[in-house]
């Protein structure tokens, strides 16, 4: 009896600990619920279309899906779709002008590269024809880029009221003037050689002239690399100022273009290989 009473006392004292231990003992969560929670946190689903509760009943109608489906006719409505271009006046014209501008830039780069890689001393007839065709293409693309650039600066984009007070715009125009003026040297030389070839009086190109024409091509490539850089800063209003009169900036850009044009055309018309001087010195 004493043993039984002791055992009962032990059971009596252990029973509270057994009952209370289940209260604070942590219960492990099922792995499936943790996996689903992590999946929901890492998945972009603002409408909760991939809710696990909906996956259990495939025939259930999801309210979020109903709302999305009902919005599709509104999205396809022309009046609603045109709201995206409500603040873009004459968007098709602006897009075509920009496309023509980019195509002209790529075309000019290709023509200059043809000249740069073809010009050399003692070119044959095929190479002479190649640089002549490349220079014609350069002129055509140059007219296109000037026309589309005018449209983008005056008719489209931010308008001339913005660009006229942007000093980088006039710096860009000055670089364009340097590019165009320097190209006159190669153009004049190529025209002279094409006329001489037609008359049967073409002389082989010397090393001095070929080096000078290659220098011009390198300068043109450098200008093509700099001009788009100034355009990106210009379009974002970097350096915008209304304190400087735009007429003065425009006059400076025109003066640069006119002066350099005269210089390079004169250099091309008066350029000489001086073979007689070389022979006499030898």
DSSP letter for each residue of 148-206: HHHHHHHTSTT-HHHHTT-HHHHHHHHHHHHHHHHHHHHHHHHHHHHHHHHTT-PPPPP
Residue 282 has pLDDT above 70, yes or no: no
The continuous run of DSSP H or E covering 257 comes out as helix 246-269
First-to-last C-alpha distance (Å) of the chain: 140
Residue 17 pLDDT class (50, 70, 90 cuts): very low
Under a CB-based contact definition with an 8 Å cutoff, are residues 173 and 154 in contact? no
| pLDDT tens by residue, 218-229 | 999 999 888 888
Residue 103 pLDDT class (50, 70, 90 cuts): very high
Residue 34 pLDDT class (50, 70, 90 cuts): low
Q: What is the mean pLDDT of residues 200-208?
A: 88
> Which of 46-50, 123-127, 160-164: highest mean pLDDT?
123-127
| pLDDT tens by residue, 67-100 | 555 555 555 555 544 444 444 567 788 889 889 9
DSSP code for 22: H
> Scanning the structure block, which residue is given the tokens 């008066």?
270
Q: What is the mean pLDDT of residues 206-217?
A: 92
Helix (H, G, I), strand (E, B) or coil at 122: coil
- Tell me what pLDDT residue 137 has: 94
Cα separation of 78 and 97, whole Å? 25
> Which of 50-54, 78-82, 206-210, 239-243: highest mean pLDDT?
206-210
Q: What is the mean pLDDT of residues 116-125?
A: 92
Under a CB-based contact definition with an 8 Å cutoff, are residues 226 and 175 in contact? yes
Crossing angle of helices 91-118 and 125-154, rounded to 10°: 150
The tokens for 255 are 């003066």
Residue 178 has pLDDT above 50, yes or no: yes
Give the number of other Cβ atoms within 10 Å of residue 140's Cβ.
14
- Tell me what pLDDT residue 46 has: 54
Give the number of other Cβ atoms within 10 Å of residue 43's Cβ.
9
- Tell me what pLDDT residue 272 has: 83
Return the closest-CA partner of residue 217 out of 114, 103, 105, 101.
114
> Scanning the structure block, which residue is given the tokens 């065709």?
133
Cα separation of 107 and 188, whole Å? 20
Residue that wins the pLDDT comparison between 240 and 276: 240
């Amino acid at each position: 009896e004493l043993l039984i009473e002791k055992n009962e006392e032990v059971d009596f004292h252990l029973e509270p600990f057994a009952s209370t231990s289940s209260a604070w003992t942590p219960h492990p969560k099922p792995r499936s619920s943790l996996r689903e929670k992590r999946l929901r946190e890492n998945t972009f689903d603002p409408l909760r279309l991939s809710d696990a509760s909906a996956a259990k009943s495939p025939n259930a109608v999801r309210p979020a899906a109903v709302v999305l489906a009902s919005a599709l006719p509104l999205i396809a409505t022309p009046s609603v779709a045109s709201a995206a271009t409500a603040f873009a006046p004459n968007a098709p014209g602006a897009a075509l002008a920009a496309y023509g501008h980019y195509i002209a830039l790529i075309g000019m780069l290709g023509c200059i590269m043809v000249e740069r890689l073809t010009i050399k001393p003692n070119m044959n007839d095929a190479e002479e024809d190649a640089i002549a065709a490349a220079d014609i293409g350069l002129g055509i693309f140059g007219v296109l880029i000037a026309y589309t650039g005018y449209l983008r600066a005056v008719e489209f984009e931010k308008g001339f009221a913005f660009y006229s007070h942007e000093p980088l715009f006039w710096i860009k125009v000055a670089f364009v003037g340097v590019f165009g003026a320097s190209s006159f040297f190669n153009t004049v030389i190529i025209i002279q050689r094409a006329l001489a070839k037609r008359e049967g009086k073409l002389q082989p190109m010397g090393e001095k002239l070929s080096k000078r024409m290659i220098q011009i091509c390198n300068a043109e490539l450098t200008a093509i690399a700099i001009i788009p850089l100034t355009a990106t800063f210009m379009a974002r209003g970097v350096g915008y100022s209304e304190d400087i009169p735009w007429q003065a900036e425009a006059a400076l850009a025109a003066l640069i273009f006119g002066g350099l044009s005269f210089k390079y055309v004169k250099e091309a018309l008066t350029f000489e290989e001086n073979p007689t001087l070389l022979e006499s010195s030898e």
